Chain A
């Protein structure tokens, strides 16, 4: 398949693996964080750890929107949708995420009108086709999905569509990275930068990580070769004692980002003073809210939101795992009380969550695998 197979080429990948082994100083231990949940998923999905030397360790970052969403927000959204004639619309990613009394899918099984949509504009279509109902789009995601929510709101306003609103949970990536770097128990050597987010925000917003924190950042694609090449680029910078922002994912990410997308976001959203992140706590200016000029289409401004706050179960060590301090399997609940089917913590819910990715693809793996086929 074009644009996929090239990036899974065994020859190129084995070359990249060799290069990594050459660049990694055996006397050093490298801790590299991949910020984005998409990368975490890809690393496990493609078994990339099999290709890395032991002293190159990948630490999973906070870039999984479902994982960092506090349970109270889900409870709030589902409480609103319990009103008669409400349709709760969300991405498939949200459907299995548990609220206090169940996930959207479980609410659907009990009779709530819950719909999976593939884009916010599909939710808008639902509203047009169901004028007697109110369609609430439960928006999640970083800057990757925020522009399409923004454009949908612009269109809803232009059409004067009154039976549509957005319950906005959009968050921004930079404050989360800052929170990680501010964490005292964290030692990182560099970052594999988020690919899709950077398509929108570009590479400049990471400058401070290189300049002020002295850590290299390489914005990366999601195929095995992309990720390995990004690790090569990071190791090269580290060997040369450099710290700069580089773009491995040039075929998709423009250095300056996508100005049309950024304009749409600026038109519709403003920063919240603070927002709660699951596992990380409250982070100031880390999330988006809908501007007053779009209040009519903002579920939070239009309806009375219960404002539920749920503390994470004490035994679950999601915060430590989310910050990369603990490995998924080091959490006391991992694989016992907490599994993808019956998740206790959020990282077990999304397939991009490091616990779910580790559980699904890695934790029962034998130590050595011969990959040749003898038929």
Chain B
């Protein structure tokens, strides 16, 4: 609810691409403009989904939009992303997706076969994820006013019992659990754009992470303190948000972080940090130390979770920061992504 005291701290004269990249600039926009005007003075930590109560029943609600280019890429497409992304935002909020409504913004001139392929992809992804598409809306804009098609989704989900996701519950000694190898999606998209003369046998990791989250919650219950799907901005950005919200330090052990050689290779070549690269089918969880081993074993025993790993732990220091240590003894602070990841050449 807007209050008269709402103070807008966002002073940048125009919207840049960085404001949509999921890193620091996005956070400035949300916290400096949207939150004070729309959510009241103190929005609290910004999670992947809102928890709301209707007639005593608590549900999770989330919304997302999809503007990926190219529309199709190895391992997935915009339609699949739209469903999985929404299901995943609910999953990491501790909820099972129940229903999704969809809005299409279409550019006049879009070939029907492209639209049809994406609608089919959505239907298939929804069926696979066990979520109902309950309604939708379509808008068409003039040719040139949009890039082929955009999809926006809103999903609601039923909260799982026995788990409470909150950055405040994170404690020193908790472990950082990652569901599988990172960077596949972001690097796949980068290569699929075709600007780079680079090829790799790589596919987007887009999928519903709910089955894994469900098993994790069954195994570790209240030991699961926090979850997030590290999409734009990657693992580094998600964990920095957590570090900031909980005030603790997150220490990662570089050698424990699962990354495919092709992703590592592309990142080395282009001067990118895999920790900043987007994922669409992985999630991070903070699990209490007594539940950590069991949580890991459970994930690894679940199809699609074989490569899960404990990659770090929560410590007092460095407060509100993410630190990565390497086996050879060096360490570095890893910040949120600033703007879009751009390759370094010279």
Binding site for B on A (CB under 8 A): 1, 4, 8-10, 13-14, 17, 44-48, 50-51, 65-66, 91-93, 95-96, 105-106, 108-110, 116-119, 122, 140-142, 144-145, 224, 340-341, 350-352, 360-366, 369, 371, 373-375
B317 with A118: CB separation less than 8 A: no
Given known pairs A66-B346, A375-B310, the reply for A365 and B195 (CB within 8 Å) is: no
A304 CA / B265 CA spacing, docked (Å):
43
- What sequence of 0s and 1s flags, for each residue 5-34 of chain B, a beta carbon within 8 Å of any chain A beta carbon? 000000000111110000011000000000
How far apart sit A352 and B339, CA to CA, in the bound complex (Å)? 16
Check if B318 sits within 8 Å of A92, measured CB to CB: no
Shortest CB distance B26–A (Å): 12
Please state if A93 and B330 are interface contacts (CB–CB under 8 Å): no
Among all A-B residue pairs, the 3 with the closest Cβ atoms: A47-B330, A92-B342, A141-B346
A109 touches B16 (CB 8 A): yes
Determine whether the beta carbon of A109 is less than 8 Å from that of B15: yes
Which chain B residue lies CB-closest to A118? Answer: B196
Kindly state the separation between the CA atoms of A17 and B329 in the bound complex, as whole angstroms. 10
In the assembled complex, the Cα of A8 lies from the Cα of B329 at a distance in Å of 10
Q: List 15 additional contacts besides A47-B326, A96-B339, A351-B271; criterion CB under 8 Å.
A: A10-B329, A13-B329, A46-B330, A47-B329, A50-B329, A50-B331, A91-B345, A105-B18, A360-B333, A362-B332, A366-B317, A371-B253, A373-B256, A375-B310, A375-B313
- Supposing A45-B332, A105-B17, A369-B331 touch, asked if A118 and B338 sit within 8 A by C-beta, the answer is no
Q: Within 8 Å of chain A (Cβ to Cβ): is B164?
A: no
Given contacts A93-B346, A109-B17, contact A362 B328 (CB under 8 A): no
Given contacts A106-B16, A351-B271, contact A65 B330 (CB under 8 A): no
Which chain B residues numbered 241 to 273 have a C-beta less than 8 Å away from chain A?
A: 249, 251, 253, 256, 261, 264-265, 268, 271
Residues on the B chain within 8 Å of A117, using CB: 195
Bound complex: CA A65 to CA B345 (Å): 11
Listed in ascending order, the chain B residues whose CB lies under 8 Å from chain A are 14-18, 24-25, 175, 195-197, 249, 251, 253, 256, 261, 264-265, 268, 271, 289, 292-293, 310, 312-313, 317-318, 321, 323, 325-335, 338-339, 342-346
Residue in chain B with minimal CB distance to A37 = B346
Q: Pick from B268, B271, B330: contact of A51, CB below 8 A.
A: B330
Given A116-B342, A118-B343: A364 in contact with B330 (beta carbons within 8 A): no
- B-side contacts of A106, CB under 8 Å: 14, 16
Q: Using Cβ atoms and an 8 Å threshold, which residues of chain A touch B326?
A: 8, 46-47, 371
29 contacts between A and B (CB under 8 A): A1-B268, A8-B326, A13-B329, A17-B329, A45-B332, A46-B328, A47-B326, A92-B342, A93-B345, A95-B342, A96-B339, A109-B14, A116-B343, A118-B196, A118-B345, A119-B345, A224-B328, A360-B333, A361-B332, A364-B333, A365-B331, A366-B249, A369-B251, A369-B323, A371-B331, A373-B253, A373-B313, A375-B292, A375-B313
Which residues of chain B come closer than 8 Å to A122, judged between CB atoms?
195
Q: How far is the CA of A341 from the CA of B323 in the complex (A)?
A: 20
B-side contacts of A50, CB under 8 Å: 329-331
Docked-complex contact B332 and A96, CB < 8 angstroms:
no
The reply to whether A13 and B17 form a contact with Cβ atoms under 8 Å apart is no
Residues of A within 8 A of B317 (CB): 366
> If the complex has contacts A17-B329, A351-B271, A366-B318, are A1 and B344 also in contact, measured as CB distance less than 8 A?
no
Residue of B nearest to A170 (CB): B346
- Contact of B333 with A365 in the complex, beta carbons under 8 Å: yes
Bound form: Cα–Cα A45–B15 in Å? 30
Are A110 and B14 neighbours in the complex by a CB distance under 8 Å? yes
Residue in B closest to A341 when the chains form the complex, CB atoms: B338
- Candidates A4, A363, A371, A373; contact of B333 at CB < 8 Å: A363
B338 touches A340 (CB 8 A): yes
A93 touches B329 (CB 8 A): no
Bound state CA distance, A375 and B16, in angstroms?
42
Q: Which residues from chain A contact B265 at a C-beta distance below 8 Å?
A: 1
Chain B nearest Cβ from A15, distance in angstroms: 10
List the A residue with the shortest CB-CB distance to B14. Answer: A109
